[in-house]
Amino acid sequence: MNSTYTEIQEKVIDKTLAFVKETLYGEGSGHDYWHVYRVWNNAKALAKSETCNSYIVELGALLHDIADHKFHGGDLTVGPRVAREFLEKLTVEEEVISAVCEIIATISFKGAKVESKMSTIEGMIVQDADRLDAIGAIGIARTFAYGGHKGHEMYNPDIKPQLHESFEAYANSKGTTINHFYEKLLLLKDLMNTETAKKVAEKRHSYMEEFLDQFYNEWNGVI
């Protein structure tokens, strides 16, 4: 635990972690407790290189997927509302609650041509931490888990990727799992906010490109 936190803040972090685990543990789409746990660790690591409020960073990371819009009819207000209700019960300061809720409302990728830029360094850190978990080896695994969860085809060469111009188009996409690489994952490297995340993203991005090369070779019968 961060030694600069007060005893009350430490308890809030502990209770928030327990709340997230109780709510999301065992979820099968790749948006489970362990995803949040990894994002939380990513965020804490990124925060060390930035001047920021690490308390807001940790709470934002822990609560960023507490009620993901993808599982609530695309409603972007559910996550911030659930987080606010929870933090208010813990009598967290309004300034902190507002900052955390803004992070949750803004964090998601909403389409290749839709801007979702954070206004605070705390938000940038959490967004980078979340996006790092969407690329690389774990990102690949999560993508196929989510595709299976939604009943999407793994790959269909007759269905081409689309760069969505609105959140509605992105949220309602029925594209293949492989298409998702081109519609989101391969775009994330250039959307990172912090210098540390940009460096990490380079390696994970290259790993995804290598995976796709291998996938197409196997698909096309290249021995």
pLDDT at 200: 98
pLDDT surpasses 70 at 74: no
Q: What is the mean pLDDT of the chain?
A: 91
pLDDT surpasses 60 at 71: no
Alpha-carbon distances of 73 from 20, 106, 150, 208, rounded to whole Å: 21, 17, 13, 29
The pair of three-digit structure tokens given for residue 92, joined into one six-digit string = 């967290």
Residue 139 falls inside a structural domain: yes
pLDDT in tens, 91-133: 999 999 999 999 999 998 766 566 778 999 999 999 999 999 9
Report the range of poorest mean pLDDT among 58-62, 114-118, 212-216: 114-118
pLDDT surpasses 60 at 69: no
Residue 180 falls inside a structural domain: yes
Within 10 Å of residue 108's Cβ, how many Cβ atoms? Answer: 21
- Sequence-distant (6+) residues with CB within 8 A of 102 are 80, 119, 120, 123
Residue 71 falls inside a structural domain: yes
pTM of model > 0.85: yes
Q: What percent of the chain has pLDDT over 70?
A: 90
Residue 2 falls inside a structural domain: no
Cβ–Cβ under 8 Å, residues 128 and 151: no
Q: What is the mean pLDDT of residues 195-223?
A: 97
pLDDT surpasses 80 at 216: yes
How many domains is the chain built from?
A: 1
Q: Where are the beta strands (DSSP E) in 96-175?
A: none
pLDDT at 54: 97
User: Whats the size of the chain, residue-wise?
Assistant: 223
Residue 1 falls inside a structural domain: no
Helical ranges in 48-120 per DSSP H: 54-63, 78-89, 94-106
Q: What is the mean pLDDT of residues 29-51?
A: 95
Q: Which CATH number characterizes residue 78's domain?
A: 1.10.3210.50
Q: Which domain holds residue 157?
A: 7-219
pLDDT at 152: 92
